[in-house]
Amino acid sequence: MTVSTRAAFARTVRGKGPGLLLAHGAGGGIDANYGPIMDGLAARHTVVGVDYPGSGGTPAAQGRIDADDLVDQLIAAADAEGLDTFALSGYSLGGPLAIRLAARYPERVRALVLSATFAYADTRTELVASIWQQLYEAGQHTALAAYLNLMAFGEPALNALTSDQVRGATEQLAHTLPAGTPGQVDLVRRIDVRSDLPLITAPTLTILTTADPLVSPALQRELAAAIPGAEVAEIPTGHLPFVEQPQHWLKLISSFLERAATS
């Protein structure tokens, strides 16, 4: 059963200026995924983001999460903050949600930035997500945290850590996994926005995480190639650019949004 997620979502609003709507990744949240660059984004924009069911202050859903309901919540947040038009940034699972929103509301999206993302889960991504979901649902949160560290960090970043540092990071992550993790990861496994890609009319930047073990660069490139006129930028990180190279990630986003605003 798919359950509507129309109850109010926890919302983050920061800064002043042109609107910037944020869509976060599975098992994350606005603060977790965008917190390290939030000050930089809010310096030039009114930044609005919502936490999905089971992340941040948003209660967990009682059934399957529906992608279009999440899009409705993103639009409702923009409406509530008076943003008739806005730029849109989607990270990981936030990418296909941003794509769906941009296809449904082309008149409202002034620019689109997609980072470390996909249009659908290929066989490898489905396998990664299925293990992620199964470990959480089995209560094996420490094993899941270790798995996520392996699958999220780029190889150079992971090898730069000592074994003790990795164990510490694993223990910390195991205690902070959002309650909404299984529902959000289930959506990763189901969502497919390939038919929306040709409908995107907003200037688009796809930021490829080229050392990403979780969402392969090949899958990211496939998405970028299907969006008319999309620009491509690369960042040499794993799936967590906000951890490995937050200032580089911020610069790529900010520079593109500045160019899009004046074009």
Q: What is the pLDDT of residues 171-201, one digit of tens each?
A: 999 999 999 999 999 999 999 999 999 999 9
Q: What is the pLDDT of residue 114?
A: 98
**Percentage, residues of the chain above pLDDT 70:** 97
CATH domain 11-123+178-262 topology: Rossmann fold (3.40.50)
Query: What's the whole-number mean pLDDT along residues 146-171?
Result: 96
Q: Where are the domains of the chain?
A: 11-123+178-262
Beta strand 19-23 with 86-91 is parallel
Per-residue pLDDT tens digits for 223-237: 999 999 999 999 999
